[in-house]
Amino acid sequence: MKKVSFTPKTEINSIINGEYSTPSDILGQHKINDREAVIIRGFFPHSKEAWIIRAPKKAVKMTKIHRDGFYEAVFKNCDEYFPYHFRIKEGDRKYKEFKDPYNFTPILTDFDIHLLIEGTHYQSYEKMGAHYIEIEGTSGVHFAVWAPNAVRVSVIGNFNRWDGRIHPMNNRAGSGIWEIFIPGLQKDLIYKYEIKSQYNNTISIKSDPYAFFCEKPPKSASIVHNIDRYEWGDDTWMDARKNTNWLEKPVSIYEVHLGSWMRVPEESDRHLTYRELSEKLVQYIKNMGYTHIELLPITEHPLEESWGYQTIAYYAPTSRHGKPEDFMYFIDKCHQEGIGVIIDWVPAHFPRDAHGLAFFDGTHLYEHADPRKGEQKDWGTLIFNYSRNEVQNFLISNALFWLKKYHIDGLRMDAVASMLYLDYSRSPGEWIPNKYGGNENLEAINFVKKFNEVVHLNFPGTLTMAEESTAWAMVSRPTYVGGLGFSMKWNMGWMNDSLEFISKDPIHRKFHHNNLTFSLLYAFTENFILVLSHDEVVHGKRSIIDKMPGDYNQKFSNLRLFYGFMYGHPGKKLLFMGGEFGQWIEWQVNKSLDWHLLEYELHLKLQKYVRDLNLLYKSQPALYEIDFDTSGFEWIDFRDVNHSVISFIRKTKNPKDFLLFIYNFTPVPRFGYRIGVPEYRYYKEILNSDSEIYGGTNFGNMGGVMAESIPWQERPFSINIILPPLSVIIFKPVNP
């Protein structure tokens, strides 16, 4: 007997061939108005038979009208929709029952769609991606993804044999946003998107750009995961953060790559988990006196050697150390111990991996199509197209996501210079000028400003930091006065000049004195962070201690002196892991730091010295209260070039509370060295880097010295001191 179909053949073929952008128009339950009937259609490619289950004991067999598994069932004399689910037979004895994904109304509202297209849906992560939800008593997963140039987008996974024909998504009103609710899916489901492009009908398999959790590399699937279950215990920290002005607070940052800070050699050199790090690393940072930890990118990335800077999943912490709630526990533990958490954030570029953002819907969606704007040759990556509202929305939402969902305290934006300049690392003819003929990337500048405005508006007390290596003006000034809006900027100039100076043999330093003092000419033009980051201990640059000249003992003396200069100089502080105890070899991403070095006296004493610097830094307002204004700094003498000695004062808002710094950058002790001071007081020696407890020669001033009424260096009083070799001495005036 010939089968009679109520479904047009063209619609059947469009479903079977995966070419229909709104499958719910065909599949699911629909009224046949001219017949007062309801028709239910389903497509089950791996089935032998299918039924409609209206009640526990009421099954209606569906008619198979195409051999590939297209079914329909017509219910006559029925003019109202009714609840049902499917039962299908896949093998001789294998049956499955499930509710129809195409019998549910859309989840995204028209207002959601409007905001997403406009680029102002700053909580887009609540709507896009994969979310466990419940609709009218039915639990399942709602999926949503942006792919405007796709013919068809499907959710694929083990639950549907990775077959893109089974769960095609619905395109919302030509917006380019696709969604589907699939009932009955289990927790921690592995999935991807199969995208059929308008161009050449190419099919690509992509991870979810909004995935909250991913498989551990080298696997690359996304995982449906509920990140709202964790119960935070950091209310005290979060409440205080809102009213904290970090510009006038101590900020001493320990920069860390979680995968190589410490490993477990007894277990095949495995990574520490987030839970293990929350005990070992957090306690270490607390004991060392740091105020903050900064993590190299923790977002999921396929290649360990990229250090995390080639991100695939912007919304997922890497699964190398555990689940999202484990990372939340780590942050929570930091906050409970009084430690702020900053993460490196990479909105400048992304990798070309086939499962990532590159060529996402068969077109250059997230990146510029023109390689003169879309390719970052230095890193072999692609550059975001900041002119697209949806791309800006994706990135700004991501920034807010980490601050809200993970309680992150600051974002350090990586490679800002590469974003600001169209000709960054490009030869003539390899870049396109902006509409005014200049080399400024106007779209990227607009994005950076909007990012800072939205972050500071929504999360007061959080920090945004720029790794910006050029002389771009007002990076850390508010946007309303023409700045980029960052809280702070990395001081790359100080880092380059001071490392250049300190690496010289002391006998030659007098010829490079300008490298030591030049930074004070511009120190207050930005809110600077003095950085000795991971970039300075890789690619043949040698470790920080290995840059120091001299014999074994002199290297340590020079390093203590250098760190003392860093902590005395205006600006917040950042030191990469390993630098605090004198790691000899360059940082290697695939192995642990050389913690065994602490078995050696000078390494252990260097670690103590850095700890004492941090504790002193936090206890003395003169070291942090006026970091970004000339009123907090005063030279005493920067002219003693022949002796390579400099001296200055750091001040607080209280004119009676200040610190005196004297640096000797030669291995020659200076006896009877006179320094002009502003007040007749006793000057207590509160730190001497040449002390025996730090591995020095123990030259010093017996705890302090009294000022004399001898005018010196244009000041009414002076002190006569012993200046140890390769040392910094810090004096604090107290009443005689």
The sign one gets for the Cα dihedral 425, 431, 434, 438 is positive
The phi and psi torsions of 670 (rounded to 5 degrees) equal -115, 115
Q: What is the pLDDT of residues 457-508, one digit of tens each?
A: 999 999 999 999 999 999 999 999 999 999 999 999 999 999 999 999 999 9
Q: SS3 sequence, 233-273?
A: CCHHHHHHHCCCCHHHCCCEEEEECHHHHCEEHHHCCEECC
pLDDT at 416 over 70: yes
Give yes or no for a cis peptide into 570 (omega within 30° of 0). no
CB-count burial class (<10 Å; 0-12, 13-18, 19+) for 68: middle
Q: Please check whether residue 529 is in contact with residue 571, taking contact to mean a CB–CB distance below 8 angstroms.
A: yes
pLDDT at 1 over 80: no
- Give the span between the Cα atoms of 398 and 578, in whole angstroms: 30
Residue 508's pLDDT is 96
Helix, strand, or coil (residue 671):
strand
- Give the span between the Cα atoms of 337 and 685, in whole angstroms: 30
Query: What's the whole-number mean pLDDT along residues 606-627?
Result: 98
From 467, 468, 580, 685, active-site residue = 467
Closest among 551, 416, 423, 395 to 472, alpha carbons compared: 416
Cα–Cα–Cα angle for 490, 492, 495, nearest 5°? 115
Output the six-digit token pair for 535: 């970039």
Residues in the chain: 736
Q: Rounded to a whole number, what is the distance in angstroms from the first to the last CA of the chain?
A: 113
Instruction: Give the contacts of 637 (CB within 8 A, at least 6 positions apart).
Output: 645, 646, 647, 675, 676, 713
Q: Please check whether residue 418 is in contact with residue 377, taking contact to mean a CB–CB distance below 8 angstroms.
A: no
Residue 136's pLDDT is 86
- 535 falls in which pLDDT band (50, 70, 90)? very high
- Give the span between the Cα atoms of 671 and 724, in whole angstroms: 8
DSSP state of 199: S
Helix, strand, or coil (residue 559):
helix
Q: Is 118 a catalytic residue?
A: no
From 361, 375, 414, 580, active-site residue = 414
Tell me how far the alpha carbon of residue 303 is from its chain's centroid.
Answer: 16
- Give the span between the Cα atoms of 547 and 360, in whole angstroms: 44
Residue 414's pLDDT is 95
- Give the span between the Cα atoms of 81 and 54, in whole angstroms: 11
Q: What is the CATH number of domain 9-103?
A: 2.60.40.10
- Give the span between the Cα atoms of 93 and 108, in whole angstroms: 39
Q: Please check whether residue 179 is in contact with residue 143, taking contact to mean a CB–CB distance below 8 angstroms.
A: yes
Closest among 322, 325, 255, 245 to 285, alpha carbons compared: 255
- 2 falls in which pLDDT band (50, 70, 90)? very low
pLDDT at 91 over 70: yes
Residue 81's pLDDT is 85
Using DSSP bridges, classify how beta strands 37-43 and 49-55 pair: parallel, antiparallel or unpaired.
unpaired
Query: 524 has which bridge partners?
Result: none
Query: What's the whole-number mean pLDDT along residues 272-299?
Result: 98
Query: What's the whole-number mean pLDDT along residues 526-537?
Result: 97
DSSP codes of every residue in 343-355: EEE--SEE---TT
- Give the span between the Cα atoms of 257 and 305, in whole angstroms: 11
Q: What is the CATH number of domain 250-383+411-430+462-622?
A: 3.20.20.80
pLDDT at 561 over 80: yes
Query: What's the whole-number mean pLDDT along residues 511-525?
Result: 96
Residue 6's pLDDT is 77
Q: Is 235 a catalytic residue?
A: no
Query: What's the whole-number mean pLDDT along residues 283-308?
Result: 96
Helix, strand, or coil (residue 160):
helix
pLDDT at 157 over 60: yes
Residue 76's pLDDT is 87
407: left (phi over 0), alpha (psi -120 to 50) or beta: left
- HSE-up of residue 16 (Cα within 13 Å, Cβ side): 16
- 94 falls in which pLDDT band (50, 70, 90)? confident
Comparing 9-103 with 628-734, is the CATH topology the same? yes
Residue 19's pLDDT is 85
Burial 78-95 (b: 16+ CB within 10 A, else e): eeeeeebbbbbeeeeeee
Helix, strand, or coil (residue 475):
coil
Mean pLDDT of the chain: 94
Does CATH place domain 628-734 in 2.60.40.1180? Answer: yes
pLDDT at 3 over 60: no
pLDDT at 4 over 70: no
Closest among 416, 491, 486 to 246, alpha carbons compared: 486
Mean pLDDT is lowest, of 27-41, 339-353, 678-692, for 27-41
Q: Please check whether residue 699 is in contact with residue 690, taking contact to mean a CB–CB distance below 8 angstroms.
A: yes
User: SS3 breakdown of the chain: % helix, strand, coil, rounded to 5?
Assistant: 30, 30, 45
Domain limits of the chain?
9-103, 250-383+411-430+462-622, 628-734
